Copies of this chain bind each other. A is one copy, B any other.
Amino acid sequence: MRIGELAGEAGVSVRALRYYEEHGLLTSVRASSGQRHYPRGAIGRVRLIQQLYAAGLSSRTIVELLPCIEDGEATPALLDRLSHERDRIEEQIDSLVSTRDRLDHLITTATRAKDVGHRCPGWVGPPPP
């Protein structure tokens, strides 16, 4: 498949795919005309890249870990980095969960306050005029 189709299938821009290649995240076979061609499997690879980006990994980190992830080429050092990133993600999850809970509490509290027409005790701020 050519770059436009891959972009459509994977849900990213053509520019992004060229950027990935430029940074060693993705390879392509070039036709004599210079056009890039990709195998079907590239779709999954691009989705994986997106998933790792979404988890806060940089392209430099991803390019180091991808051979380990896709081909199972796991040196001890790579495994170490991998589990390091895993731990980072876990911390991030915990942080997000606590933020979500805080927002949840806020939303239910504010909604109740609005419905019942009073302010929840414990709230900070000046009293209403």
Contacts and interface: CB of A to CB of B under 8 A. Distances in A.
Contacts of A76: 114
Interface residues of A, number: 43
B107 A72 contact: no
State the main secondary structure of chain A at its contact with B: helix
A22 interface: no
B51 A106 contact: no
Interface string A69-82: 11111101001001
A23 interface: no
A70 to B, nearest CB: 7
Interface stretch (A2-10, A12-20, A26-34, A93-101): A93-101
